[in-house]
Amino acid sequence: MTSSNDREMLRRRIECEVGDAVGELPGRSRNVYTALLVDGHRQWRLLLHRTQPAPAGRCDAMLIGPGGVFAVNIVDELPGEAQIRRLRAQAEHVFTGVSYGPESGEFVRETVELVFVLPAGRRPDADGRFVVVTDATLRSVLGRDRILPAKAARALAEHTGRRHADYVLLPTVTPAPAAAPDGLLEVDALQTDQVNLALAKPFPTWLTFLDPTQNALVARNYTGPARIVGPAGSGKTVLALHRMAHRARRSTGPLLFTTLVRNLPPCQQSAFARLLPDAAHRAEFTNLHAWAQNFLAERGKPRIMELKRTTTAFNLAWIRAGRVSPLAATEPSYWREEIDRVIKGRGLPATDAGFAAYAEVDRRGRRVPLHPVQRRHVWALYRAYEQIRTERGCFDGNDVIAAALDELRARPLDRPYAMVVVDEVQDMTLQSVRLVHELTGDEPNSLLFVGDRQQQIYAGGWRFVDAGIAIVGRSERLTRNYRNRRAILKLAASLPGAGPVDDFDTGDRHSLEHTEAALPDGIAERWSCTRAELAGHLRGRLDLIVAAGISLSDTAIITITNPEAEAILRLLHQWQIPATELVDYRCAAADTGVKVGTVYRAKGLDFRAVIHPFPVPAAPATDAERERYELTMRQQFVAVTRARDYVWLAEISG
Annotated binding site: 230-237
Counting other chains too, the contacts that 171-174 makes at CB distance below 8 Å and 24 or more residues apart are: 171/17, 172/41, 172/45, 173/10, 173/13, 173/14, 173/17, 173/37, 173/41, 174/41, 174/42
Are the C-beta atoms of 313 and 349 separated by less than 8 Å? Answer: no
Are the C-beta atoms of 500 and 634 separated by less than 8 Å? Answer: no
Distances 92 to 34, 100, 174, 242, 415 between C-alpha atoms, Å:
25, 16, 29, 17, 28
- Burial (CB count within 10 angstroms: exposed 0-12, middle 13-18, buried 19+), residue 130: buried
Are the C-beta atoms of 394 and 306 separated by less than 8 Å? Answer: yes
Counting other chains too, the contacts that 24-31 makes at CB distance below 8 Å and 24 or more residues apart are: 25/52, 26/52, 26/53, 28/74, 28/119, 28/135, 29/53, 29/60, 29/74, 31/135
Are the C-beta atoms of 421 and 450 separated by less than 8 Å? Answer: yes
485, containing H or E segment: strand 480-485
Q: How wide is the angle at C-alpha 296 spanned by C-alphas 290 and 300, nearest 5°?
A: 140
Distances 459 to 11, 236, 426, 630, 631 between C-alpha atoms, Å:
65, 22, 10, 10, 8
- Burial (CB count within 10 angstroms: exposed 0-12, middle 13-18, buried 19+), residue 649: buried
Strand stretches in 75-162, DSSP E:
113-118, 131-134
Residue ranges of the annotated binding site for ATP are 230-237
Instruction: Return d(Cα 244, Cα 118) in angstroms, integer.
Output: 27
Q: Which residues contact 343 (CB under 8 A, 6 or more apart)?
A: 354, 358, 378, 382
Instruction: Return d(Cα 203, Cα 274) in angstroms, integer.
Output: 13
Instruction: Return d(Cα 48, Cα 417) in angstroms, integer.
Output: 37
Q: Where are the alpha helices (DSSP H) in 606-648?
A: 623-640
